[in-house]
Structure 1
């Protein structure tokens, strides 16, 4: 896994993209969306995202014990999810609470929407 940091994503840029089944993305659009998919391409981050998305919000104190990696490693993965715009975080006292950004996932879902095959396609 590369140690380079992922760029912070312009969330408005994701909304600009038509579904990939409608027309091919240009290089600029792909560069905007790719960091989100890269962030989700890591098994730990994908599990974290699943845990965060399954509840309205969750404390980092509830996320860390679910993994066999150190707290700083979990913090790094959560930072990647924040920087790519997939989650929001709010510090409350000594703990940080995370919640999914549903509008981003709706946009990513729309981007991946492929129409059902018609009878002529089958």
Structure 2
């Protein structure tokens, strides 16, 4: 990903914004191993459904999770392709880690 397109930059920005909240990180950690119902997430995280819904919406808009409805319940799972996009973006920094010193500046 040598040059980030405008669309990719927007996806990356949304992803990092979504990752900036500790509760959303905890949600992703719970979804790491299995799809979970919103009621299971609420119970495990000890938060109200209204509070969790706000955070799940942010994760979903960032493309980090997907949702499916079964009856009256919503089930959430990780969207690995979006996580890979963020991983690849950060990997570019690691690959070019030998940063050159600044050139002499204007006088």
Shorter-chain TM-score range: 0.7 to 0.9
- Taking the TM superposition and a 5 Å limit, the aligned residue runs for 1:1-122 are 18=1, 25=4, 28=6, 29-55=8-34, 57-113=35-91, 114-115=94-95
TM-score relative to the length of structure 2: 0.76
- Report what 2:101 is aligned to: none
Which has the larger share of helix? Answer: 2
Report the structure number with the largest CA radius of gyration.
Answer: 2
Unaligned runs of 5+ in 2: 99-107
Q: Let me know the Cα RMSD of the aligned residues.
A: 2.2
Between the two proteins, the alignment pairs up a number of residues equal to 95
* Runs of 4+ displaced beyond 4 Å: none
Q: Deviations over 1:65-102 (max 9, x none)?
A: 12243210001111111111111100101111111111
